[in-house]
Amino acid sequence: MITFHRILAPIDFSPCSDAALNYAVELAEKFSAELILLYVVPDLSTVVPDAAMPVPMAGPDLDEVIRSAEEAVANLIREKGLGRLNPRTDVRIGSANTEIVQAATDAKADLIVIGTHGRTGLSHFFLGSVAEKVIRMAKCPVLTVREAETESA
């Protein structure tokens, strides 16, 4: 029988991430699994400064960015009433796909539940897909959830 003990739910506060979180919550409840909410702060040092920008730019205070992200995750837990699950939270800095896979490994997650924007064509080519990279790199199963299509009246 398939069972899950730890479920990692990467979140980015988008509707797509919200849809995936709903699945992760349902699965955590069904299997009495630990729910781990992960938010990855993009590492801006990989973007700036560069050769075209000779004057170094002041970056954001990293401690403040992390505190803000932790507060946003705590607010999400309150707003969605997830306190009953006592979810573990994790805020990391770096490349989303790399940090998601590493967090799953560190937590010994049995499942990653991740939202996908479902991009195709040129937008997928240029932007790539975090979910697709996670699927390729993860050592555990990955459930991708696409945001529900809204019906136009």
Q: Please give the domain boundaries of the chain with CATH numbers for all domains.
A: 6-146 (3.40.50.620)
Q: Taking the CA of residue 18 as centre, how many other CA atoms within 13 Å lie in the half-sphere pointing to its CB?
A: 8
What is the mean pLDDT for each group of 10 consecutive residues in the chain (153 residues)?
95 93 97 97 65 56 90 97 96 95 98 81 56 94 81 44
**pLDDT digits 0-9 by tens, 108-120:** 999 999 998 755 5
Half-sphere exposure (Cβ direction) of 130: Cα atoms closer than 13 Å: 23
pLDDT at 101: 97
pLDDT at 71: 97
pTM, to two decimals: 0.83
Give me the pLDDT at residue 44, please.
Answer: 67
At residue 152, the pLDDT reads 45
Determine how β-strand 88-94 pairs with β-strand 34-42.
Answer: parallel
pLDDT for 116 equals: 87
